Amino acid sequence: MNTDQLDRAIRDVLHSWTPENPGVPEGVADRIVRRRRRRSLVRGTGAALALAGIAFGGVLAAGAGGSSDDGPRPPAAGVSEDSDLLWRTTLPGTSWDACTIGPGAVYCRGASYDGIGVDVRNGKITWQREAGKADGDRTPAGSLPGVRDGVLYTYADHSPGASMAGTDLVAVDVDARRELWRHKLADDSRGRSSAVLFDGGVLANSPTFKSVVALDDGTGRALWSYTWKQADCDRAAIGGVPYLMCSPDSEKAPQRSTVVRLDPDTGAPRTVASVEGPTAYLGTDGKALLLGATDGEPKRLGEPVPGTLIRVDLGSGKVSRHRVDALPGGAVADGIVLGFDGNDRAVARSAEDGRRLWSHDLGLELRPDAHMPDMAELPSEAAVDLASRTAYYADPSGNLVGLDLDSGEVRWRGRVELPETPVESGIAPELMVYEHGLVGQVGGELFRIRPVLPESVS
């Protein structure tokens, strides 16, 4: 089960569960599975939870333990709190949940807009493309595939206003502000692997399940397709080449996972590696791919689960296996996987063998949900500036922190003043590095800030 199918499973379970509890806020199921919640938590452990049906009492309780009654901590000695807030912009509409950076602009999408462009120099909105009639704010959320050569790749409802609207991948010329083409996907998955950009095209879900198609950038014409059976496959472009990371889709399927390279020109498959048992795709480290296999099931979503980190060298096909007390999950930067423990402490592990390098309390403010005390807000995933070797995090209240990538020590703390908003449990902000500064998205607020690090580490 890949992350997109897991999202659907969680959503289905929660939609069937919430009517029995009139105190649950409307739309909680969709909020929980939105892209802004931390995806790394489910990569290694979610399939077991979804297949088991989820005991909701402890689901997504991870944020509650990381909350601080006293709010964010003041800077310690030697920690900079200086920064330049270059701009802050309030986006129109509601439910903004995915952004990406292109040359000179930030692009976002949400329930009411399939795409919006913001000048990264001054924060001014330069163009916007409204979505078709949405079903409230429950349009399926996810990521943005990206922007390349003046074209933004985004998602839109296939049948706007319908209860089961479906999803199209849409290519938009950002200069001419016009749609170039669109391609129907099999379902409403809009995750990180629903469409990926590779050298020579876009690899997207086909209109049918268990199939992908390579599309021409300019026309959307199908270049080639590939179909498989008895597996769920994540997709990624690594070094400009499309890959599939496939795991058995049921106990009746052959119990082996495979990494398949698809030729960018023809789609011809080549199995790079095969390993026993189900696995989950964790990420990439240079020319190596990271898979995870868990031992057992967590008691709650986000709780560390022991297992095996599987590292696949994409050049030689060599497979190495490393037993770990908790599978690493999160952003990967220069051989380091930056994730969280069950209490939202930042944890760094080696991408080589999974050993823990450091952990540190972020000292951010993660507000609990008054309607469901076991749930709380989440911090952003790490945004890493390799030039200063700093990993940055944010909370939904506008507090930010920068940790030394190698030691985990706090280098910087900052804050962006944001309008007070209700708690949205299971939702996290987004941070992106741009020119040694940060672009952040918290709900409908977009900002650019430049941290001023201490001279000794700048």
131-151 pLDDT tens trace:
887 655 555 567 899 999 999
Which is nearest to 400 in space by CA: 368, 425, 432, 374? 432
- What are the pLDDT digits (tens) for 44-82? 333 333 333 332 333 333 433 343 444 455 555 568 889
Nearest CA among 453, 429, 457 for reference residue 443? 429
HSE-up (13 A, CA, CB side) for residue 339: 27
Burial class (CB in 10 A: 0-12, 13-18, 19+), 456: exposed
User: Is residue 36 pLDDT above 50, yes or no?
Assistant: no
**In whole angstroms, what is the distance from residue 451 CA to residue 445 CA?**
18
**Residue 412: closest CA among 73, 82, 66:** 82
The separation between CA 288 and the C-alpha centre of its own chain, rounded to angstroms, equals: 20
Alpha-carbon span 178 to 180, nearest angstrom? 6
Lowest mean pLDDT among 17-21, 98-102, 233-237: 17-21
DSSP 8-state secondary structure symbol assigned to residue 80:
B
pLDDT for res 50: 31
Name 259's Cβ contacts closer than 8 Å, sequence gap at least 6: 243, 244, 245, 246, 271, 272, 273, 274, 289, 291, 312, 314
Distance between CA atoms of residues 407 and 99, nearest Å:
29
Angle (nearest 5°) at CA 67 between 64 and 71: 160
Question: Please, are residues 402 and 411 in contact by the beta-carbon 8 Å criterion?
Answer: yes
Closest CA to 202 of 267, 132, 258: 267
Show the tokens assigned to 155.
């998602």
Note the pLDDT of residue 5: 47
- Mean pLDDT over each residue of the chain, to the nearest integer: 83
Residue-level pLDDT at 372:
83
Write out pLDDT tens, residues 166-210: 899 999 999 998 999 999 998 777 888 899 999 999 999 998 899
Dihedral angle sign, alpha carbons of residues 305, 38, 432, 140 = positive
- Strand partners of residue 151: 148, 173
Tokens in use for 349?
């592990």
Identify the weakest region by mean pLDDT among 39-53, 126-140, 293-307, 353-367.
Answer: 39-53
User: Which residue in the block uniquely carries the two structure tokens 């949405």?
Assistant: 134
Please provide the size of the chain in residues: 458
| pLDDT confidence bin for 427, thresholds 50/70/90 | confident
Q: Report d(CA 259, CA 235) in Å as an integer.
A: 10
Q: What is the pLDDT of residues 299-324, one digit of tens each?
A: 665 567 789 999 999 999 999 999 99
Question: Would you state the structure tokens that stand for residue 287, as one six-digit string?
Answer: 């020319």
The token pair at 209 is 């399940």
Q: Which residues pair with 292 in a beta bridge?
A: 280, 309
HSE-up of residue 447 (Cα within 13 Å, Cβ side): 24
Predicted pLDDT of residue 158: 86
Return the pLDDT at 154: 94
pLDDT tens digit string along 247-293? Answer: 999 999 999 999 999 999 999 999 999 999 999 999 999 999 999 99
Chain CA centroid to CA 206, Å? 21
**CA–CA dist 71, 202 (Å, integer):** 44
Q: Looking at the predicted structure, is the pLDDT value of residue 415 above 60? A: yes
Other beta carbons within 10 Å of 457: 15
Q: How far is residue 68's CA from residue 415's CA, in Å, rounded to a whole number?
A: 16
> Nearest CA to 195 among 218, 174, 214?
214
- Would you list the DSSP string of 52-70? HT--GGGTTGGGGGG--TT
pLDDT score for 191: 82
Q: What residue has token string 């105190």?
A: 23
Read off the tokens for 383: 């945004």
Dihedral (CA of 272, 3, 100, 380) sign: negative
Q: Which pTM does this prediction carry? A: 0.84
pLDDT confidence of residue 132 = 83
Look at residue 202 in the predicted model and tell me its pLDDT: 97
Task: Give yes or no for residue 15 having a pLDDT over 70.
Answer: no
Res 77: pLDDT? 54
d(CA 246, CA 261): 11
Asked whether the beta carbons of 10 and 54 are under 8 A apart, the reply is yes
Return left, alpha or beta for 40; rule: phi > 0 is left, psi -120 to 50 is alpha, else beta: alpha
Number of H helices, E strands in the chain: 4, 32
Cβ burial, residue 315 (10 Å; 0-12/13-18/19+): exposed
